[in-house]
Structure 1
Amino acid sequence: MHSQAHDVGAPSLLETLRTGTGLLHVALEKRLPFFSARLDAQWYRRLLQAYYGFYQPMEAALYDSGLIPGGIDIASRVKTPTLVSDLRALGLHDQTIGALPRCTQLPTLDTPAACLGALYVLEGATLGGQVLRREMASRLAIEADNGGAFLDVYGAETGRRWKDFLDYLARQTLDANAQARAVMAARSTFSGFEQWLERQEVLL
């Protein structure tokens, strides 16, 4: 329903998103503290609080927009509840979680293409989860049941869920203008997330 005419010979949406966000992705990963020798339990908890402060309003805006093209099970991809469970496991009460600061500078999600760009970032962020969970288990004794479920939110299903998402992207026929909107939203999601984590003082 939301599809637009596809330009013959144009790069795929996935190619365009990868090219448009690659440098931002690398830059953010270098600043995340998961592999820092200085990361301790307190820093980890502050990091998850900051993640919640971005994911909660971001997912609410994205999934409440009504603009995500059909063909994907959105309900199964919401990650905020897992973050809430982790924060509870780390000792935060619901009232404390509800009072955590939340990001208000979110990407503009006013078209189906923009929603696809934001989804690309959120889904791609799950790919390194198993490595992160193992690192946190080894360093901080944090497992899925005591504050680390979000790090590997899809578990053994991560690869299949990513392939399903890529197949979903491949079915979206967007023209050059729509692809540009998708990339803009993806870049805004990456940069907005990094700026938010910077303001929360949880980055390297």
Structure 2
Amino acid sequence: MHSQAPDVGVPPLLDALRSGTALLHVALEKRLPFFAPRLDADWYQRVLQAYYGFYRPIEARLHDGGLIPIGFDQALRAKTPTLRNDLNALGLSDEAISALSQCPSLPHLDTPAACLGALYVLEGATLGGQILRREMAQRLALNADNGGAFLNVYGTETGRRWKRFLDYLADVPLAPPRPPAGRGCGALDIQLF
């Protein structure tokens, strides 16, 4: 095993987010069913329903919390409407979608840093959706018109929006880290102005 050289140009916040989420990222990838041999249209629909049950409440909490530092366009980056459209395209009615279970255990989004961490995960998942989009197009013939738009929610803008998000993170003013007070998220416990 070789060690990676540190990326000298990486802003401290991005470096902290990457290192703080790396193990969770690997564990989640192993659990996702997108590459499972038995994945079919019904299973895909159940996965999208679960995504909707997570994205709807977390996006609402991020929006309502008012703690995201200035410069992030939540309306431009909302995924819930696209998930709803995909579920409609897959045959679910608006009533059935509204009745879907919502995730009761969301991350604590009580600081700007926690919000930035959540946004990093959501935006990173959007970038990763490009790989999943190609797999679902090949295996299930899904595209933006028949239930696969969420996996390509930004379309041709995906790479540029990821870069702009990283630039946004780099521009967020950070205060020097405070000593731990018995509470926090390790590498993600960053204080903002």
Instruction: Name the TM-score class by shorter chain.
Output: 0.7 to 0.9
Aligned to 1:141: 141
CA 1:113–1:177 in structure 2 vs 1: closer, same or farther (change >3 Å)?
farther
Aligned to 1:195: none
Query: Structure 1: which 5+ residue stretches go unaligned?
Result: 1-10, 186-204
Aligned to 1:176: 177
TM-score of the superposed pair, with normalisation by structure 1:
0.81
Tell me by how many angstroms 1:172 deviates: 1.2
> 1:129·1:152 contact (CA, 8 Å) conserved in 2?
yes
Distance 1:106 1:128 in 2: 21
TM-score of the superposed pair, with normalisation by structure 2:
0.86
Question: Which aligned segments of 4 or more residues in structure 1 are displaced greater than 3 angstroms?
Answer: none
Tell me by how many angstroms 1:159 deviates: 0.7
Query: Structure 2: which 5+ residue stretches go unaligned?
Result: 1-10
Match status 1:71 vs 2:67: no
> 1:40·1:140 contact (CA, 8 Å) conserved in 2?
yes
Q: RMSD across aligned C-alpha pairs, in angstroms?
A: 1.9
Distance 2:57 2:188 in 1: 20
Match status 1:164 vs 2:169: no
> 1:52·1:83 contact (CA, 8 Å) conserved in 2?
yes
> 2:124·2:162 contact (CA, 8 Å) conserved in 1?
yes
For residue 30 of structure 1, what is the amino acid of its counterpart? Answer: K
State how 1:35-50 maps to structure 2 within 5 Å. 35-50=35-50
> 1:123·1:162 contact (CA, 8 Å) conserved in 2?
yes
State how 1:1-204 maps to structure 2 within 5 Å. 12-174=12-174, 175-177=176-178, 183=188
Tell me by how many angstroms 1:72 deviates: 2.0
Aligned to 2:5: none
Distance 1:79 1:183 in 2: 24
Q: Deviations over 1:41-61 (max 9, x none)?
A: 100000000000000001000
Tell me by how many angstroms 1:184 deviates: 5.8
CA 1:58–1:177 in structure 2 vs 1: closer, same or farther (change >3 Å)?
farther
